[in-house]
Amino acid sequence: MKTIEGILRYDPLDTESWCFDMGYQSIPTNTGMAVQILVDGRFLSGRLLETVNGGMIVRLVGSRKDRQWSYVLEPHRRYSAKMAEETVERILDEFRLLDLL
């Protein structure tokens, strides 16, 4: 699977939510999206989970000491991440379609 590298960050000015910033364009993220996030020098696979207060958690697929675990993202920080190229292209295609309407 091909991936695109970018940054997961909170975007208070544009959408007041989390986004995946690829440098040349950013896309909004939502609960359930698959990502790989850099933790302790390794990219770990997980799914995004929005919290009630606008926060974001990455529920990691792997386990730590045989238990599932989550990585809490803080709004004032940026996180190196990867997302499947197919997912990014699908979202960008949806934006292009909306622009045509």
pLDDT means per 10 residues, the chain with 101 residues, are 92 78 90 91 90 82 69 90 93 80 60
Q: Quick check: 88 and 96 in contact, CB under 8 A? A: no
What span, in angstroms and rounded, lies between the C-alpha atoms of 72 and 39?
11
> What pLDDT, on a 0 to 100 scale, did the predictor assign at position 76?
85
pTM for the whole structure: 0.83
Give the number of other Cβ atoms within 10 Å of residue 101's Cβ: 4
Q: How far, in whole angstroms, is CA 87 from its chain's centroid?
A: 11
> What pLDDT, on a 0 to 100 scale, did the predictor assign at position 54?
72
What span, in angstroms and rounded, lies between the C-alpha atoms of 46 and 17?
19
> What pLDDT, on a 0 to 100 scale, did the predictor assign at position 14?
64
DSSP symbol at 29: -
> What pLDDT, on a 0 to 100 scale, did the predictor assign at position 96?
81
What span, in angstroms and rounded, lies between the C-alpha atoms of 7 and 57?
15
What span, in angstroms and rounded, lies between the C-alpha atoms of 60 and 49?
10
> What pLDDT, on a 0 to 100 scale, did the predictor assign at position 62?
66
